[in-house]
């Protein structure tokens, strides 16, 4: 039976009323994803504040993003092969263990009152390796465990957990950092530890896995298969490319420590609140989508919300008002949450389950990696042209990406309903 003839998660007959409750294994997995995301978000804020405290230069915030992006870019296709060949729960747990070890190092560096960011960047490189391992496995697992007809609900629930973590993590990180620079890393340690514990009780998915003898040559062939599949699937290629360039130009969030100090005149705790506003906007949007998911004109909605993202970025760059900056971040994050929901639903529906890890790994380069690369772009632009122009140009660039994408990706533009999507051969 071809991939096109196989049952597609999230489509078909809705489960009977008694089976509509999210299974306990999925709920445990969502709890692990919340703890992981909370730890990552808190650590991201703490590292940005720590680096800016040490050097006071926007460019170094960009270098922080580059250090995390490089291993993701290099290793993501091979990490996807691991997620397709081995138990994704085990792959996820191994990556989390490496992340936990790196966090111990960040804690020690923060306690030592560093005068150079070189050791920090070195640990961030290792942390990026761990992230490249965890990303495809952790993103595939909720889809693997979702019962037939419930993928959209599981995606929405995962999004709610992710966005909730985006509020709790940054807010606590900002508050804890104002008390002691090492405290946010203790919070991250707890998050990673809880996530590893939850994973012990997540059941096996039973999905198809890659077969054949493993080895370096086979790993390379497997990775290339994933890349070729995306390239010959216009909807996937369009959605991932759109996100890459939109986030690349719209990476102003990486400059929030500088925006808070130089433009808004606020302290670290207030910067933490700015980060949390991103989570609030996204969480409210995710909650609405869990009740009223997008059902029509999916492609056009995706282009529209990316345009809103670009316009809100321009407002953030121009304002000197803390209240306006908060509102801009709420709008920006809400638009981004809609685009994430659409892509997170498109990708599994358009990918065979035995290739899902590799597809999600490549997507992680474009989505997760592009955040770090966008941070570098914003840092470099700020160093060259100033903080305001860097943010505004990023928003303008995002709007240009939308215009080009509407012409370049007609297959994505024409997607009306998620039910139309099927894995291609």
pLDDT grade for 310, boundaries at 50, 70 and 90: very high
User: What is the C-alpha separation between 276 and 154, in angstroms, rounded?
Assistant: 23
Secondary structure (3-state) at 421: coil
Structure tokens at 323: 């209240």
| pLDDT above 90 for 399 | yes
> Which residues contact residue 267 at a Cβ distance below 8 angstroms, ignoring those fewer than 6 apart?
178, 260
Give pLDDT, residue 89.
92
Secondary structure (3-state) at 368: helix
User: What is the C-alpha separation between 7 and 13, in angstroms, rounded?
Assistant: 11
H-state helical runs in 112-181: 118-145, 151-179
Q: Render pLDDT for 160-193 as a digit per residue (tens, 0 to 9).
A: 888 788 788 988 998 899 899 999 999 999 999 9
pLDDT grade for 20, boundaries at 50, 70 and 90: low
- Whether the Cβ atoms of residue 210 and residue 354 lie closer than 8 Å to each other: yes
Indicate the number of domains in the chain.
1
DSSP for 188-226? Answer: HHHHHHHHHHHHTTPPP-------S--SHHHHHHHHHHH
210 lies in a domain? no
14 lies in a domain? no
User: What is the C-alpha separation between 112 and 115, in angstroms, rounded?
Assistant: 9
Give pLDDT, residue 369.
59
148 lies in a domain? yes
What is the domain-level CATH number for residue 372?
Answer: 1.20.1250.20
Stretch 299-318: mean pLDDT: 94
Structure tokens at 112: 């030592």
User: What is the C-alpha separation between 135 and 92, in angstroms, rounded?
Assistant: 8
209 lies in a domain? no
> What is the residue-averaged pLDDT of the chain?
83
7 lies in a domain? no
Lowest mean pLDDT among 5-9, 77-81, 186-190, 308-312: 5-9
387 lies in a domain? yes
Q: pTM for this structure?
A: 0.71
State the residue range of the domain holding 28: 22-203+217-420
Sign of the torsion formed by the C-alpha atoms of 362, 366, 372 and 377: positive
| pLDDT above 60 for 196 | yes
DSSP for 323-340? Answer: HHHHHHHHHHHHHHHHHH
415 lies in a domain? yes
Q: Render pLDDT for 325-366 as a digit per residue (tens, 0 to 9).
A: 999 999 998 998 898 888 878 877 787 777 878 787 777 766
- Cα atoms in the Cβ-side hemisphere of radius 13 Å centred on 288: 11
Q: Render pLDDT for 73-110 as a digit per residue (tens, 0 to 9).
A: 788 767 888 888 888 999 999 999 999 999 999 999 99
246 lies in a domain? yes
Q: Which secondary structure element, helix H or strand E, spans residue 111, and what is its range?
A: helix 88-111
User: What is the C-alpha separation between 316 and 335, in angstroms, rounded?
Assistant: 14
Gyration radius of the chain over CA positions:
20
Selection from 83-87, 264-268, 303-307 with the highest mean pLDDT: 303-307
User: What is the C-alpha separation between 356 and 310, in angstroms, rounded?
Assistant: 30
Secondary structure (3-state) at 297: coil
């Amino acid at each position: 039976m071809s991939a096109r003839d196989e049952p597609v998660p999230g489509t078909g007959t809705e489960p009977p009323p008694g089976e509509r409750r999210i299974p306990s294994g999925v709920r445990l997995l969502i709890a692990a994803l919340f703890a992981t995301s909370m730890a990552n978000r808190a650590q991201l804020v703490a590292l940005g504040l720590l680096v800016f405290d040490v050097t006071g230069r926007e460019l170094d915030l960009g270098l922080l993003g580059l250090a995390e992006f490089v291993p993701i870019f290099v290793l993501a296709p091979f990490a996807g092969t691991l997620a397709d060949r081995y138990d994704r729960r085990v792959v996820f747990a191994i990556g989390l263990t490496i992340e936990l070890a790196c966090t111990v190092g960040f804690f020690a560096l923060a306690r030592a009152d560093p005068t150079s960011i070189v050791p920090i960047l070195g640990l961030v490189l290792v942390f990026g390796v761990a992230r490249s391992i965890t990303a495809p496995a952790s993103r595939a697992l909720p889809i693997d465990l979702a019962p037939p007809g419930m993928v959209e609900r599981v995606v929405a629930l995962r999004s709610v957990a992710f966005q909730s973590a985006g509020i709790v993590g940054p807010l606590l990180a900002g508050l804890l950092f104002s008390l002691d620079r090492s405290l946010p890393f203790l919070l991250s340690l707890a998050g990673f530890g809880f996530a590893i514990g939850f994973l012990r009780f997540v059941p096996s998915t039973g999905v198809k896995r890659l077969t054949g003898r493993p080895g370096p040559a086979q790993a390379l062939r497997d990775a290339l298969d994933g890349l070729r599949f995306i390239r010959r699937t216009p909807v996937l290629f369009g959605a991932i490319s759109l996100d890459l360039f939109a986030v690349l130009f719209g990476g102003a969030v990486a400059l929030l420590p500088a925006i808070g100090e130089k433009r808004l005149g606020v302290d670290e705790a207030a910067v933490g609140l700015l980060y949390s506003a991103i989570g609030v906007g996204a969480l409210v949007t995710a909650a609405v989508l869990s009740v009223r998911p997008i059902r029509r004109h999916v492609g056009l909605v995706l282009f529209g919300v990316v345009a809103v993202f670009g316009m809100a970025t321009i407002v953030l760059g121009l304002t000197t008002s803390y209240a306006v900056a908060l509102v801009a971040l709420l709008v920006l994050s809400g638009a981004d949450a809609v685009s994430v929901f659409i892509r997170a639903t498109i990708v599994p529906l358009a990918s065979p389950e035995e290739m899902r890890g590799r597809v999600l790994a490549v997507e992680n380069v474009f989505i997760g990696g592009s955040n770090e690369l966008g941070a570098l772009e914003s840092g470099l632009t700020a160093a060259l042209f100033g903080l305001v122009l860097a943010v505004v140009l990023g928003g303008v660039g995002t709007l240009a990406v939308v215009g080009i994408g509407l012409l370049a990706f007609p297959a994505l533009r024409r997607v009306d309903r998620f039910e139309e999507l099927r894995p291609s051969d």
